[in-house]
Amino acid sequence: MINLILFGPPGSGKGTQAKKLVEQYELLHISTGDLFRYEMGNNTPLGLKAKEYISKGELVPDEITVGMLANKVIANQNVKGYIFDGYPRNIFQSEELDRILAEMGMEVTGLVALAVEDEEIVQRILGRGKTSGRTDDNDESIIRNRIEVYKQETRPVFDYYAKSNKSFEIGGLGSIDDVFDRLCKQINTF
Ligand code: AMP
């Protein structure tokens, strides 16, 4: 069982790498961003609420996010493990993840952060915005706000798991396959 937190700033390639990891390790990919986009696409009450925050590049409140994540994990227990992509994004969400997994007799195996510097991120996300249809990918000030929120609220999650020697960082630059090789090398040490 591998329960991996795929970590890093927005636009660092988490989603792309998660899709490749799913094939390699037969894990379930849980992206809270994708779950929110699904809800928004269906105009559900949860989706409409989430949109208020996502459109500004802010975090969706924990009381919405944690329950949605927990439902997804609990509904999919017959898997070899999980890839958490875009969750946890603050310390409270980390504590809740630990609690949810502990209740099922599991724990986080490791966190791997993809390191990519700010200007590269802005350019990558603006590029993605041309085809992703994501309104939060098209406006530079919203993108910069997402990076700021990452630094203030999300980056501490790295230090939180570092306390139990579970946090690792790899270079996020280079080809998709290069980054994937680095990721696999790290995961294979778990
Ligand atoms: P992502 O696809 O991971 O970049 O997420 C897109 C947006 O969804 C983020 O900018 C947040 O507004 C929201 N979001 C995704 N995951 C979370 C989370 N764990 N906590 C709060 N907001 C989230």
Question: Is 122 among the domain residues?
Answer: no
CATH of the domain at 74: 3.40.50.300
pLDDT at residue 133 in the model: 87
- One DSSP character per residue, 41-74 reads HTT-HHHHHHHHHHTTTPPPPHHHHHHHHHHHHH
Question: Is 130 among the domain residues?
Answer: no
Question: Is 180 among the domain residues?
Answer: yes
Question: Is 128 among the domain residues?
Answer: no
- One DSSP character per residue, 136-187 reads GGS-HHHHHHHHHHIIIIITHHHHHHHTTT-EEEEE--S-HHHHHHHHHHHH
Pocket of ligand 1 (CB under 6 A): 10, 32-33, 36, 53-54, 57-60, 65, 86-87, 89, 93, 136, 146
Can you give the residue range of the structural domain that contains 62?
Answer: 2-117+155-187
The number of domains in the chain is 1
Q: Are 1 and 81 in contact (CB under 8 A)?
A: yes
Question: Is 90 among the domain residues?
Answer: yes
pLDDT in tens, the chain (190 residues): 999 999 999 999 999 999 999 999 999 999 999 999 999 999 999 999 999 999 999 999 999 999 999 999 999 999 999 999 999 999 999 999 999 999 999 999 999 999 999 999 999 999 999 998 888 999 999 999 999 999 999 999 999 999 999 999 999 999 999 999 999 999 999 9
Question: Is 135 among the domain residues?
Answer: no
- Interval between CA 187 and ligand 1 midpoint (Å): 24
| Residue located nearest, by CA, to atom 2 of ligand 1 | 33
- Interval between CA 28 and ligand 1 midpoint (Å): 18
Question: Is 124 among the domain residues?
Answer: no
User: What sign results for the dihedral spanned by CA atoms 174, 179, 181, 186?
Assistant: positive
Question: Is 125 among the domain residues?
Answer: no
